Structure 1
Amino acid sequence: MVVVIGIFGGVVGFGAGWFGRLVLGAARRGVVAPRWWCEVGVGVLWAVVAVRVAGGMPWWWAGVPLVVGWGGVLLSVCDIRAYRLPDVFTLPAYPVALLLVGVASVHQPGVWAGAIGGGLLFGGVYLLVRVVQPAAMGPGDVKLAGSLGLVVGAVSVGAVLAVIAAAALGTLVAASRWGRGAIPHGPAALVPAWLVTAFAPWP
């Protein structure tokens, strides 16, 4: 039964990735993504979430890793291809994140404190880096950080610190491997954020 649920989640995710690839190509300052990148990426992540739900993840939390996975794949593809995180995705992420946390808060009212604290912490740290060292942090990364902080902070503020550290480490590793050229930071933040929402103890 779990396998069937996982396959179903993967198929639905494949369709969501296909739709996302079309949106990414039509969006202002978007990119034309290579065929199957979005479809396979979202399909795999949604299959994992489906299996997690079958294993006991609360339905009211499942929307968080589903949305983070969908948006994370699209933004990662855009950042890898064009070294930017467009406003058309990063700005709407705030009301979506607030909505997801709001749904979770109906069942766990305490998530709001962590979500707000996480949003301020994640966004504040990235904004500080942007102000002190503009070349080290793009404006899109700063805009994305606040919304990621909301959903990761709903798990715990400590998780936000872990994601920030993992993102910094991932970027440093990428820079050491590919040299001093432009390094997309978005994927380094999005991957650990999704892992936290999908695998850490939900609130």
Structure 2
Amino acid sequence: MFILIALTAATAPAAAWALRRAAAPIPAGTAAGLAALGATAVAARWLGGAWPGWWLPVPALLTVVAVPLALADLRHLRLPDVLTLPAYPLFGAAIGAAALGGGGPSLALRAAAGGLLFGGAHAAVHHFAPASLGAGDVKLSGSLGAVLAAAGWPALALAALTAALLTLAVAAVRRRERVPHGPALLAAAWLCVLFPLAL
């Protein structure tokens, strides 16, 4: 448990460095602390027997990716390519390991289809209403769709609905013209992966 938490927190400085080079700096200490909290929740679910050990890399990796991206979007209204694009092969590897470890080929096939479906839906929204959804959200949505579908088909709709409601709630409270959607999307996906429906 402590190794998982330490490793997750240790990724924060590298992510902060990459984001600083992408002109979207985040506080490394805050990122490390939030990543450690997220990893603690992941480890607690795993040790509590909520899901099999082969699923562990998926929520652990999502925690590593979600924290710095959410902070960058909150601070700069951006989801930089430096993290959204590497998420595809990273999540692909984690899902592949989960499939080989016990999830079976259906998990990998579901993930691939989910990535196309979720990413395609976000791309369509961005195309027809570009002001409502940024390009970074679209780039992120494909990899998140794969992770969500691996957790179970209902997670796609649940995450989309939860993220939309969270973003609307923040917009109503802050009363600003632009509200980042990425943090809500990442939080909803993280919860769905932490409490998967298909395992």
Is TM-score (shorter-chain normalized) higher than 0.5?
yes
Instruction: Give matches, 1:41-120, under 5 Å.
Output: 41-56=34-49, 57-106=51-100, 107-108=102-103, 109-120=105-116
Aligned match of 1:186 in 160, 182, 188? 182
> Which deviates the most, 81-90 or 111-120?
111-120
In structure 1, C-alpha distance between the alignment counterparts of 2:10 and 2:81, rounded to whole Å: 24
In structure 2, C-alpha distance between the alignment counterparts of 1:188 and 1:77, rounded to whole Å: 11
In structure 1, C-alpha distance between the alignment counterparts of 2:137 and 2:77, rounded to whole Å: 10
Q: Assess, with a 3 A threshold, how the Cα gap between structure 1 residues 15 and 96 changes in structure 2: closer, same or farther.
A: closer
Instruction: Give matches, 1:122-201, under 5 Å.
Output: 122-201=118-197
In structure 1, C-alpha distance between the alignment counterparts of 2:30 and 2:75, rounded to whole Å: 11
Deviation at 1:38, TM superposition (A): 0.2
* Matched residue type, 1:60: W
Count residues in correspondence: 196
Deviation at 1:118, TM superposition (A): 1.4
1:36 is paired with a residue whose SS is helix
Aligned match of 2:16 in 18, 21, 31? 21
Q: Percent same amino acid at aligned positions?
A: 36
Deviation at 1:113, TM superposition (A): 3.0
Q: Assess, with a 3 A threshold, how the Cα gap between structure 1 residues 132 and 194 changes in structure 2: closer, same or farther.
A: same
Which runs of 5 or more residues in structure 1 are unaligned? none
* CA RMSD across the alignment: 1.7
Q: Assess, with a 3 A threshold, how the Cα gap between structure 1 residues 61 and 202 changes in structure 2: closer, same or farther.
A: farther
Q: Assess, with a 3 A threshold, how the Cα gap between structure 1 residues 178 and 93 changes in structure 2: closer, same or farther.
A: same
Deviation at 1:151, TM superposition (A): 0.7
Q: Assess, with a 3 A threshold, how the Cα gap between structure 1 residues 98 and 11 changes in structure 2: closer, same or farther.
A: closer
In structure 1, C-alpha distance between the alignment counterparts of 2:32 and 2:55, rounded to whole Å: 23
Which runs of 5 or more residues in structure 2 are unaligned? none
Q: Assess, with a 3 A threshold, how the Cα gap between structure 1 residues 9 and 95 changes in structure 2: closer, same or farther.
A: closer
Check the 8 A contact 1:152/1:197 in 2, yes or no.
Answer: yes
Residues 45-72 of structure 1, C-alpha deviation per residue, up to 9 Å, x if partnerless? 1111122222223222111111111110
Deviation at 1:17, TM superposition (A): 2.4
In structure 2, C-alpha distance between the alignment counterparts of 1:157 and 1:68, rounded to whole Å: 18
Q: TM-score, normalised by structure 2?
A: 0.91
In structure 2, C-alpha distance between the alignment counterparts of 1:97 and 1:189, rounded to whole Å: 16
Deviation at 1:102, TM superposition (A): 1.0
